[in-house]
A and B are shown apart, each in its own frame.
Chain A
Amino acid sequence: MSRPNQNDPATFEIVKNSLYKIAEEMRVVLAKTAYSPILKSAGDYSCGVFDRAGDMVAQGPDLPIHLGSMPDAVRAVVQAFGDDVYEGDVFIHNDPYFGGSHLPDVNVVRPAFHGDVHLGFTCLRAHWPDVGSATPGSYGAVTEIYGEGLRLPPVRLYDKGVLNEALEAVILSNVRTPDERKGDLGSQLAATLRAAERLKTLADRYGAERLVEYMADVMNYSDRLMRAALSELPDGEGYFEDFCDGDGIPDHADGSDAPFWVRMRVKKFGDRITVDFAGTDAQVAGPMNAPLSVSASGVFCGLKTAIDPNSLIPPNSGCWRAIEVTAPKGTVVNVEFPAPVVYANHEMSHRTADMVMGALAEFMPDQVMACSQGTSAVLTLGGLDPRNGRRYVSYETVKGGFGARPNKDGINVVASGISNTMNTPVEVLEMAFPVRVERYEIEPNSGGAGKFRGGAGARRTWRMLDGADATGALCMERMTSPPFGLAGGAPGIPATVTVTTPDGATRSLPSKGAFAAPGGSVVDMVTPGSGGFGAVSGRDPAAIGLDLLDGYVTPDAATRAYGAADPAALLKQAKHEDMP
């Protein structure tokens, strides 16, 4: 393989950094201009710079789930429009059967030009809090993609700078909060425009064709680094299987949901690695079916983290060339039309990212982590806000534990795996929507026990204000399938959600689907803790003492889960050492 940067290492480094900087700048522009809390506060969007073929050259510090699957979104535009692409054009689409991930993720794709030279594309994928369907937030348990909301195949929203007003009108009349959507779309346009301008400036400096070559060089560079890292690792093969809670469609007479299985075999030889999903269950009735690009996105995220554990290799499409992902058609990891998909986008990619660690543990146990929270823990709430008479849709994701590692504990309540969205500040949430958050705190004893403890999950409780009757919807995993431990570590605690209605009745909610939350209702969510790593007998008693001192672990759990004979003594010792 050629070494394109050999003769001019400085320019290569400069152009590479500039391309990543462009993706970062897109992120800033969107955060500062977007309207909906899920974008401006929670950051549920991703930015990238792509070459003319749709391969990702540079990505922002965004969400791995998007980043692994966005090349397919840009390729869909390339396939649909070929050379029929001009300066000032903007394409929009969200169809998982045409390179999208799920309908709420709306891709805005803008080609970048320098004179007549087509440099490539910029793409901003943003999660819209509503794209229609029967359920506010578009997270209902339906059985066909037609029930999931507005489907946009790759279409031209701007034609050489001229807005297709008819298309815009169709889009805005199919979403619940059109003013907000218009503001968000405006910010996606602004961010991609900024990126296209920055690419043009780079082309001014280095030459348009030369820039296109550098874009290829940047991906080749990551490919070389990945292969070098893979070559250093032992060859081997690992198998892992895990079950999902269900698909949101009741399977049993009591209304409960049947679990289904995902099976994965990872083989590593030399500088190549293959991941095959043979044996995985057939696709399901509800929206837990993933397009292959979504399943692969989780695999890429897990493999990148394990193969390059100190995160030194620039992430882009070049990183994935050494990786081959295969799955039988018609399974939950490689869906066939017209099955619904909305939950699987994050729930299945979380799953495949975590499972990769389980499979790799068989032959590279020093570079894996125990299972993290394994769910995006989505709660949507929608209705009329009695304070101002406006329709609203709130979308939140709540974080759980980040898995324990071979050399250190997990992390409490932080985005893991394919996710990296932020929480919505309680004060921002309550000013925007008719809810009051009653608690948001770390859940004790939720991290799996082990030599290294799993990260704790969170507890978050919402009360609907009086008169604010809402329709809620959940999308979670790991309620019946707790996050696994590795190397003898215990699993984290599974998730639970209850709703208490004003009549005082409390019931547990299933992991997915819509529910009624009349004004005065209380929704109480506990997110999963992550798995522990290593046998609990190896845990340093002083670490148990500190966990007791900070209340991450309670005395009875110290005895039950860690076998501590005298937790009071450990606590006393920790307290003594903490005093000045």
Chain B
Amino acid sequence: MAWRIGVDIGGTFTDVALVDDATGEIGVAKAPTTPQDFAAGVLSALAQAMERYGVQAADVGLLAHATTVVTNALLEEKGARAAVIMTRGFRDVLELRRSARPDLYDLFQDAPAVLAPRRRRFEITERIGADAEIVTPLAEDEIDALIETLKADKVEAVAVSLLFSFLNPAHEQRLGERLRAGLPGVPIYLSCEVLPEIKEFERASTTAVCAYVGPILASYLDRLVQATEALGLPPMYVMGSNGGVFEAAEGVAMPAMAVESGPAAGVVAAALAAAQCGRPDLLSFDMGGTTAKASLIQNGKYETTPEYEVGGGASANRWMNGTGHPIRVPVIDLAEVSAGGGSIAWVDAAGGLRVGPGSAGAEPGPVCYGRGGTEPTVTDCNLLLGYLDRSSLLAGEMEIDFDAAEAAITEKLAKPLGIDARAAAAAVIDIVNHAMAEALKIVSVERGHDPRDFTLAAFGGAGPLHAVALAEELGMAEVICPPIPGAFSALGLVGSDLQRDYVRTVYVTTDTADAAAMEAAFAELEAEGAAILDRAGTPPERRQFQRTMDARYERQSYELSVPAASSFDANALASAAEAFHDRHRQTYGHDNRGEPVQIVSLRVSAIGKIPALAIRQEPQVGAEPIKGSRAVLFRGETLQAEILDRVKMPKGRTAIGPSVIESLESTILVPPGWQAEMDSDGYIRITGASA
């Protein structure tokens, strides 16, 4: 292949990133996102990019796409008219949830959202027991009437989630067969295919999410696939929440895989940057207008988590039983906080300074944008402190109203607090930095990783502005700002391997397990993966199968992941138990050696490797990067900061803090005591000046 193209649809812009495999040249293009018909924006950005770089459709070897369609359908509650079919007696599993409420003391809290209202939740007579035996046979004679009811109700998708189908899928499979025959054109999602795992609510929820978003994702992808194929482009791949890409048809079969498609692309890009800049242990930090996301990359790899909650105002904190819809598919382990440039600062009734969760968003935006915003935001505070250019942003494309920002901060924050406006602005930045540092801590400290062992990689429009302060808070010694921060996520798309994850629940203990049976189960999962790789035409030398197991002490409910040998035998069982005891001690401070270790599930990730991608951008030579200087405020002191133009910084050029490095897409703040240097690949590396 010659060119790889990634397309990332954001709230404001659709970004296209291109990479020339032969030369490593990277190109980008942008077009406004077109929410009425996303394909229009995609095609326009693609056309622009291909024209600008002289790319012919026939030269494109890979086309990959990150989509927010699934997340948006859930957030905006605009999914399909979906029905759910449950075991008789269990119609209400989706509404009963786990029965905890998200806020202990909120008098006016709403009932959590349900993807299928009770009128579209149906029952079928059948029952499988906890030993996988059939307790009550499937009532074949009820199915015709059920199909008629679903037809009459004009149902657009169906989720089937029967008790213990993860142990014995016979009933679900038979019912699925009948429904597919009786309801042509209506996608049928079976929980034994979507998520063969214990816990009926979580499994039903994941399956219902598939049914709710499936039809929308299908029509969206159909439209895009048709349009891109018409241009002669190759089959389109979709970024999954797990950081791998899969064929569009796979996504339609398993839409829950695409929930965090967009953020995942950014993390993958960070992993690529980790390889490029020789920093395999990275904390990635992606900050935009409304949210900031953090993830952890160790030895060049990101972690995935099996638990996630989406939509319905779900809390970023997975451990608070929220109001969203749990999905149990691997999602890149990322923490998200509602903190961005648009976050609003305010003073509460007791005189406490708060930031967020309200956001001025893109409209009206910060006060300084002059588009009607009246509440002071993080961006306004950055402006007041001199961190942003006081006359314009986006290289002069956007006028800035400094005075309005200052007035808002004075009236709304400084006066109630009894301090001056600059002190108030500095306090706001401290608070928002702390909130974002919490996100970084969730993926590091809470997982037993010391952030001081990591380098911070900052991207997104606002990431590089706050990154060094976060590094200081977490005691980190180095920050890197990769090139092309604005379209950085799109680069992740063209560097992603093809990946599908498979799981098999086994429930065995390591002292009595049959290693040969486990080897056979692993082999079956790998065969399923191989079939997908066959279809994608992945040659044998680019295939990888990663085996892991979810293990716990028998009476625990949560598992830790341990690696599994590629050829599984009795020795492998024993070493898996040892690995689990060690992991438990490392994570929780104690182990219960002497107790049997239970293997709950076997997991296989089938991966089709693609040739390594280098994210780099040759620095310019011979230009003069100094643009001037301005006053900036650090820790109550006013200092003169040098202002540099990023694109004109040659390799090896340093900037001693305080300084500000500006580019079209973002601004890098280098505080006193830190020093930035442009490296040979276009990365800006910022280190403590004494380090």
Contact = CB atoms under 8 A, between A and B. Distances in A.
A416 B100 CA distance: 8
A411 B101 contact: yes
A87 B365 CA distance: 51
A14 B88 CA distance: 50
A186 B198 contact: no
Given A183-B555, A311-B105, A423-B99, A551 B427 contact: no
Interface in A557-574: none
A1 to B, nearest CB: 10
Most buried by A among B97, B100, B110, B201: B100
A229 B349 contact: yes
A308 interface: yes
A440 B93 contact: yes
Most buried by B among A187, A416, A425: A425
B137 interface: no
A271 interface: no
A28 B442 CA distance: 12
B92 A442 contact: yes
A308 B353 CA distance: 18
A304 B163 CA distance: 40
B95 interface: yes
A551 B119 contact: yes
Interface string A241-253: 0000000000000
Contacts of B199: 425, 427-428
B427 A41 contact: no
SS class, residues of chain B in contact with chain A: loop
A12 B200 CA distance: 43
Contacts of B353: 9-10, 13
A34 interface: yes
Interface in A529-579: 549-552, 578-579
Interface in A374-415: 387, 399, 402, 405, 407-409, 411-415
Interface stretch (B523-531, B535-543, B586-594): B586-594
A2 B201 CA distance: 49
B104 A17 contact: no
A415 B590 contact: no
Interface string B86-121: 001111110111111101111111110000011100
Interface string B408-431: 000000000110000000110011
A48 interface: no
Contact of A412 (B95, B100, B164, B558): B95
B130 interface: yes
Nearest to A221: B350
A427 B200 contact: yes
Contacts of A310: 106-108
A458 interface: yes
Given A31-B558, A221-B350, A311 B129 contact: no
B556 interface: yes
Nearest to B166: A427
Interface in B43-98: 81, 88-93, 95-98
Given A33-B556, A64-B105, A186-B590, A10 B349 contact: no
A414 B111 contact: yes
Interface in B336-354: 348-354
A194 interface: yes
A114 interface: no
B553 interface: yes
B394 interface: no
B96 A304 contact: no
B349 A228 contact: yes
Contacts of B319: 24, 27-28, 31
A43 B130 contact: no
A229 B459 CA distance: 42
Contacts of B566: none
B181 interface: no
Contact of B104 (A24, A311, A442, A579): A311
Interface string B189-229: 00000000011111000000000000000000000000000
B453 to A, nearest CB: 15
A415 B350 contact: no
Contacts of B431: 9-10, 13-14
A36 interface: yes
A408 B108 contact: yes
B556 A458 contact: no
B434 A425 contact: no
A40 interface: yes
B146 to A, nearest CB: 16
Given A183-B555, A367-B107, A412-B95, A425 B89 contact: no
Nearest to A32: B558
Contacts of A36: 555
B418 A431 contact: no
A437 B90 CA distance: 10
A240 B435 CA distance: 44
Contact of B118 (A414, A421, A550): A550
B556 A34 contact: yes
A193 interface: yes
A340 B106 CA distance: 33
Contacts of A491: none
Nearest to A425: B199
Nearest to B418: A6
Contact of A9 (B130, B154, B417, B587): B417
B177 interface: no
B135 interface: yes
Nearest to B584: A33
Contacts of B117: 550
Given A40-B558, A423-B98, A580-B81, A305 B130 contact: no
30 contacts: A5-B352, A6-B351, A6-B417, A10-B434, A13-B431, A14-B431, A14-B434, A21-B438, A24-B320, A32-B587, A33-B584, A34-B556, A34-B557, A36-B555, A194-B589, A225-B348, A301-B104, A304-B105, A315-B105, A369-B107, A411-B101, A411-B111, A414-B111, A415-B99, A422-B99, A423-B96, A428-B199, A441-B91, A441-B96, A442-B96
Interface of A: 3, 5-6, 9-14, 17, 21, 24-25, 27-29, 31-37, 40-41, 43, 61-62, 64, 67, 180, 183, 186-187, 189-190, 193-194, 221, 224-225, 228-229, 301, 304-306, 308-312, 315, 367-369, 387, 399, 402, 405, 407-409, 411-416, 420-423, 425-428, 430-431, 436-442, 458, 461, 549-552, 578-580
When A and B form their complex, which 3 residue pairs have the shortest distance between CB atoms, in order from nearest? A439-B89, A10-B430, A309-B107
Given A61-B320, A412-B95, 18 more contacts: A10-B431, A14-B434, A221-B350, A224-B351, A225-B348, A225-B349, A228-B349, A229-B349, A368-B107, A408-B108, A413-B92, A422-B321, A425-B200, A427-B163, A427-B198, A436-B135, A440-B92, A552-B118
